[in-house]
Amino acid sequence: MTTPTASNLVWHEASVDRAAREKRRGHRSAIVWFTGLSGSGKSTLANAVNAALFERGLVSYVLDGDNIRHGLCRDLGFSDAAREENIRRIGEVAKLFLDAGTIVITAFVSPFRADRERARALVTEGDFYEVHCAATLAACEARDPKGLYAKARAGAIPHFTGISSPYEEPLIPELRVETGGQALAESVETVLRMLEERGVISAIPS
Amino acid sequence: MTTPTASNLVWHEASVDRAAREKRRGHRSAIVWFTGLSGSGKSTLANAVNAALFERGLVSYVLDGDNIRHGLCRDLGFSDAAREENIRRIGEVAKLFLDAGTIVITAFVSPFRADRERARALVTEGDFYEVHCAATLAACEARDPKGLYAKARAGAIPHFTGISSPYEEPLIPELRVETGGQALAESVETVLRMLEERGVISAIPS
């Protein structure tokens, strides 16, 4: 066994592009943009969809509060301007993952229509799938997994979406998922079927 | 052929982690951080290494001025503070790609030692490989592929690294590549051999 030398190395100067990566992977890349109130199940659904895609051998990744708010956006607060910049950066990072050949799933409240539209406008038609996690405020507040609604009602959290800051529902999302009233498995299936119907991934023969 | 239903879908609630992705891909993920003067060949080398990794069937991605400065960091200028924030964001994005199971290659001047050390400190020992593209200022200026040195000498570009802003060479980079005095193929080979020796990728049997 010898070390490869410059003369026998096989590589090209041409850069590898998205199309080459998609061809290698056997599926299109896409941005699946979840939006919905705090407690509507965005992150849970995103991670479950991600796991389902992984089991099918596909390449996906979740961007959510856990890996963004403590990292890239640690310098941002929750004012309207900071939320806009937060979503702008997430849109740009999602675009990088898209280019890298990934089905990137974002799970942020992203309450403002204009911010979501700006994220959509960064990429091409057919690259961006807005998924509304449509649990009602009452359902989310009844759940309140992190106790945030209670704090917001008590005035301890300013600019809290649904309480002291508006949530602007998507008008024509690619998909609306009733995360308040159905089992997680059913929501996962709904998202996967949408991705199949849109031609991002192939249907599993059964 | 029937549509899968919730009951026959196979998926777990457990989230997919970096270890699972690395296992699937057959190589470790890593950050390969190129640093060097403008014109030292960082981006050219990064794209060539990326292509070589792709040909080996590995998963890699390049972050460089083309996809960062016009996107995520479009709001930043070139003052010291803006450069620091630029490198901070790139470090955070590189960390996301690392977590996603990718060999991510960054190609930015990143002139300040402290900024590079902060990027390194975001991840674990063995995840970060600093590669100094060590072409001399004279060689870079003689090349001047974008005419930037000429403009900087004429005072038209403030804070230009090597002319009106310092470049702090890495003291103990994982690798120093003589990009000023050797063929691109040789530089690519040097980087690949380092990644093999560090156990990020496997050597190709020959």
Q: Measure B120 CA to nearest chain A CA, in Å.
A: 14
Summarize pLDDT for B97-110 with one digit per residue, the tens: 999 999 999 999 99
Q: How would DSSP label each residue in chain A?
A: -----TTT----SSPP-HHHHHHHHTS--EEEEEE--TTSSHHHHHHHHHHHHHHTT--EEEEEHHHIIIIITTT--SSHHHHHHHHHHHHHHHHHHHHTT-EEEEE-----HHHHHHHHHTS-TTSEEEEEE---HHHHHHH-TTSHHHHHHTT-STT-BTTTB-----SS-SEEE-TTTS-HHHHHHHHHHHHHHTTSSPPPP-
pLDDT at B174: 98
Rounded Cα–Cα distance for residues B99 and B156 (Å) = 40
Structure tokens at B44: 């050219």
What pLDDT score was predicted for residue A15?
Answer: 77
Q: In whole angstroms, what is the distance from residue B35 CA to residue B54 CA? A: 22
CA distance B102 to B79: 31
CB-nearest to A15 from B47, B95, B186 is B47
Task: Write down the pLDDT at residue B140.
Answer: 97
Strand partners, A175: A131
Tell me the three state secondary structure of residue B93. helix
CA distance A153 to chain B (A): 31
pLDDT at residue number A159? 87
Cross-chain Cβ contact B48/A186 below 8 Å: no
Radius of gyration of chain A (CA): 19
Could you tell me which chain A residue has the CA closest to the CA of B66? A96
Mutate to test the interface with A, among B3, B15, B24, B85 (most CBs of A within 10 A): B15
Per-residue confidence band for B206, with pLDDT thresholds at 50, 70 and 90: low
Q: Are A36 and A42 in contact (CB under 8 A)?
A: yes
Mutate to test the interface with A, among B3, B7, B16, B22 (most CBs of A within 10 A): B16
Q: How far is A164 from chain B (nearest CA, A)?
A: 29
Domain boundaries, given as residue ranges, for chain B:
19-196
pLDDT at A1 over 70: no
Query: Domain A25-196 maps to which CATH number in 3.40.50.1440, 3.40.50.300, 3.40.50.720, 1.10.760.10?
Result: 3.40.50.300
Determine the Cα–Cα distance for residues B129 and B158; give it in Å rounded to an integer: 30
Taking residues A171-196, report their average pLDDT: 96
Residue B15, pLDDT score: 77
CA-based nearest residue in chain B for residue A188: B6
| Residues A110-149 pLDDT 10s | 999 999 999 999 999 999 999 999 999 999 999 998 999 9
Contacts of A158 (CB under 8 A, 6+ apart): A78, A164
d(CA A110, CA A35): 6
Nearest residue of chain B to residue A52 (CA atoms): B11
Summarize pLDDT for B3-41 with one digit per residue, the tens: 444 433 444 445 799 999 999 999 999 999 999 999 999
Q: What is the pLDDT of residue A14?
A: 57
Give the homologous superfamily in CATH for domain B19-196: P-loop containing nucleotide triphosphate hydrolases (3.40.50.300)
CA–CA gap between residue A169 and residue A177 (Å, rounded): 13
Out of A6, A100, A185, closest to residue B102 by CB: A100
Active-site pick, A40, A43, A60, A110:
A110
Residues of B in contact with A61 (CB under 8 A): 96, 99-100
**What is chain B's mean pLDDT, rounded?**
91
Active site residues of B: 110
Structure confidence at residue A7 as a pLDDT band (50, 70, 90): very low
Give me the pLDDT at residue A206, please. Answer: 62
| pLDDT tens track for A63-121 | 999 899 999 999 998 888 998 999 999 999 999 999 999 999 999 999 999 999 999 99
Candidate from B24, B51, B72 with C-beta closest to A14: B51
What is the C-alpha to C-alpha distance for residues B168 and B203, in angstroms, rounded to an integer?
Answer: 33
Please state the ipTM of this predicted complex. Answer: 0.91
Which of A64, A61, A123 lies closest to A92, judged by CA?
A123
Tokens of B202: 């496997």
pLDDT of residue A80: 82
Question: Mean pLDDT across chain A, nearest whole number?
Answer: 91
Task: Lowest mean pLDDT of A108-122, B48-62, B71-85, B123-137, name the range.
Answer: B71-85
Distances (CA, A) of B29 to A88, B146, B192: 27, 33, 14
B10 contact residues in A (CB cutoff 8 A):
52, 55
* Chain A residues in contact with B3 (beta carbon < 8 A): 193, 203, 206
The predicted structure's pLDDT at residue B203: 87
Give pLDDT tens digits for A54-72.
999 999 999 999 899 999 9
